[in-house]
Amino acid sequence: MFETLSDRLTSVFSSLRSKGRLSDADIDATCREIRIALLEADVALPVVKDFVAHVKERARGAEVSQALNPAQQVVKIVNDELIEILGGETRRLRLAKTPPTVIMLAGLQGAGKTTLAGKLARWLRDQNHAPLLVACDLQRPNAVQQLSVMAERAGVAVYAPEPGNGVGDPVRVARESIDHARRQQHDVVIIDTAGRLGIDQELMAQAAHIRDAVSPDEVLFVVDAMIGQDAVTTAQAFMDGVGFDGVVLTKLDGDARGGAALSVRHITGRPIMFASTGEKLEDFDAFHPDRMAGRILDMGDILTLIEQAQRTFDEAEAAKMAGKLASGDDFTLDDFLEQMMMVRRMGPIKNLLGMMPGMGQMRDQLNQVDDRDLDRVAAIIRSMTPGERSEPKIINGSRRARIARGSGVSVTEVNNLVTRFFEAQKMMKRMSQGIGIPGMPGGKRNQKQAKPKKGRRVSGDPRKAGLPKEPAADAPAKQPGGMLGNLTPGKLPKGLELPPGFDPSKFNLPGQK
């Protein structure tokens, strides 16, 4: 959703990299472009003024004027200010000292509270909690049924004593749910309330009564990230009518320009705690201001990518697969399919690649990535027999035609898959041997091999050129005779004859007494 803002800021900073030092005019022009980029992203005007003022003040300070690379220092300043405007640091849930912890959701109609309740419950379940969903939205048709379905999909319990559709007292349901949670040993209670408008005083009063009845530990304001600057007005109305402790952003995967995320925190003073980035239950996580700032500035989000991989990949399976990758030959098409499915479970490939630094400049290529290509590859492999998967070399022409018919693809696609697999197998074999890869363990370049014995070197000194060859290792040891060994006058090579009457035993060498 921050694509427009990210593209504008990236183009602004690219023009700075060619400058060895920044003048006041360069700083003013940069801040003007940043202001335009924020306004185009639908950020509230007061937020834009404060943000640009802070950037300009720091850019004219010593940290830029004395920096070795002023352009990079300006990027760092903008990154720091984005982190600050997004909340500074990650805000964690406050858990009650005595369970259950009560979390109340409030927000506009259509903001996605019921779906978000299921996502939050699943996220808490993965954190080793036992959450309970409470259906207090008794106004909207089928809201209670929808929450029950979300609870079943998330694998958590639900408390829904009333049918809804305008029937039942939500305040009483909320109050009784706390006792039910204690009896059933649920340590977290998530209360889904009815959606309302900022001017709907009756429903605002109902939300306030629910808050007073259950005394929640956290009141989370659910805001649609696509509503732009109007999120500020709505958030202020909820702050005055009900009050809340944190903000949850939904629909971050949409085509919104991101103004709500940059405005709500600054105007209300309440941190953004969670973000929903898709339609699936797993598309939900804690909000990290520093990581979001990195995405906006096209610096990537490697930490989130690592965390997703850790949640998806099993350590034992990863170690087993690492052994197969190291051997090369043991890697089969079954292993390839398993690895591909594990990557598929991490989320859309486009989103995973988008977390890599610099991918914002390859957005057109990322938009061409289609997850259905992985599904076609999986269909091809599953159309093979177990023998063909373990030994792809037996796949001849007739087998390839049969596989193509079974998977609904062309023979060319089957040929391309088999060819790419053999190339990957060869590459892994080379990696396991360390060929061409410095630092790879077990590599031929890293193995200490015995150096072959070199031939006899001939010195350039004419006096040494005629010296005899060195004796072999098994030759008898030399007799002691001082520095010159047991050589005697008259037997020295030509050019090293000793003077007549020279007696080596009478020559006092250093260290002799």
Annotation-wise, does 330 bind a ligand?
no
Annotation-wise, does 224 bind a ligand?
no
| pLDDT on residue 187 | 92
Annotation-wise, does 501 bind a ligand?
no
Residue 75 φ/ψ, nearest 5 degrees: -60, -40
Say if domain 3-85 classifies as CATH 1.20.120.140.
Answer: yes
Say which DSSP state 161 is in: -
Annotation-wise, does 181 bind a ligand?
no
Secondary structure E strands in 225-298: 246-250, 272-276, 284-286
Annotation-wise, does 194 bind a ligand?
yes
Annotation-wise, does 192 bind a ligand?
yes
Compute and round to an integer the Cα radius of gyration of the chain.
Answer: 36
Annotation-wise, does 193 bind a ligand?
yes
| pLDDT on residue 181 | 93
| pLDDT on residue 310 | 64
Annotation-wise, does 252 bind a ligand?
yes
Annotation-wise, does 454 bind a ligand?
no
How many residues belong to the chain?
Answer: 513
Give the CATH class of 101-299. Answer: alpha beta
Strand-strand pairing, 246-250 and 272-276: parallel
Q: Which of 269, 233, 226 is nearest to 250 (CA)?
A: 226
| pLDDT on residue 123 | 92
> Token pair of 3, please?
């694509």
pLDDT in tens, the chain (513 residues): 566 677 777 777 777 766 667 778 888 888 888 888 888 777 778 888 888 888 888 888 766 666 557 777 777 888 888 888 787 778 888 888 888 999 999 887 778 889 999 999 999 998 899 999 999 988 888 889 999 999 999 999 999 988 888 788 899 999 999 999 999 999 999 999 887 665 567 778 888 889 999 999 999 988 887 776 667 777 777 888 788 888 888 877 665 566 766 777 777 788 888 888 778 888 888 888 887 777 777 665 566 666 666 666 666 666 666 666 655 556 788 877 877 777 777 766 666 666 565 555 555 665 666 677 778 888 999 999 988 888 888 888 899 999 999 988 899 999 988 888 888 777 777 766 655 444 444 444 444 444 555 555 555 555 555 555 555 444 444 444 444 444 444 555 555 555 566 555 555 544 454
HSE on the CB side for 42, CA within 13 Å?
Answer: 20
Secondary structure E strands in 110-257: 131-136, 157-159, 188-193, 218-224, 246-250
Q: Residue 389 and residue 125: Cα distance in Å, rounded?
A: 37
Give the domain ranges of the chain: 3-85, 101-299, 314-433
* Number of other residues whose CB lies within 10 A of the CB of residue 116: 23
Say if domain 314-433 classifies as CATH 3.40.50.920.
Answer: no
Strand-strand pairing, 284-286 and 272-276: antiparallel
Annotation-wise, does 110 bind a ligand?
yes
Where helices occur in 23-127 by DSSP H, the ranges are 24-40, 45-59, 62-65, 70-85, 113-126
Annotation-wise, does 251 bind a ligand?
yes
- Asked if 193 contacts 170 with a C-beta cutoff of 8 angstroms, the reply is yes
132 three-state secondary structure:
strand
- The reported pTM is 0.62
